[in-house]
Amino acid sequence: MKRFHLIAVLVLATCGAAAAQQITRIGVIDLQKVYMTYYKDSQAVRAFEEDKQKVEAEIQRLGDEIKGLQAKRVEFQAAGDEEAVKTLDETIYKKALFLQDFIKVKQAELEDRSTSLTQSDAFGKLLYRTVQAIAEAEGYSLILSSKNADNVGSTIIWFSSMIDITDKVIQALVSGQ
């Protein structure tokens, strides 16, 4: 009988210790996606998207221009025209530097505009309350912003889509909860 009580006490102690250890659940959210989906009809967002597409088109055009010059360089090199190759090398180098600087500047400008769009007080409060409600309802202890998983500067290297609550937040915002 003592043995049975001892085993029962050990089982209860083990269960109590297991219950005391709460598993931390972490979720991620793509705030840009939430904002762009929730405010997709907003004039400011449409203007931002148009400007973003213009920048992408200009980057593509500049890149294509460099590729064309590189093709010409190969032709001149095959023909043995070293003077033309040298001139094209300088031109390609200058255009490549310009393209790098252009990309850095435009990405910074777009990031600043995107941040200012997503940080309006009314939207920020609504978003915070919505994320808080979903996190508490589903047992998340921490919600991180994934920013953009394709972005090299993202602080999250990898995450499972199972912890992404972005679509749930969008649905809650759209339905007015």
The pLDDT of residue 41: 52
Give me the DSSP letters along 38-77: HTTT-HHHHHHHHHHHHHHHHHHHHHHHHHHHHHHHHHHH
- The tokens for 170 are 């969008």
pLDDT tens digit sequence for 91-149: 999 999 999 999 999 999 988 887 777 666 566 677 778 888 888 888 888 888 776 54
Distance CA 39, CA 116 (A): 14
C-alpha span between 162 and 158 (Å, rounded) = 12
pLDDT band at 22 (very low <50, low <70, confident <90, very high): low
Per domain, the residue ranges of the chain are 21-175
According to the model, what pLDDT value does residue 87 have? 93
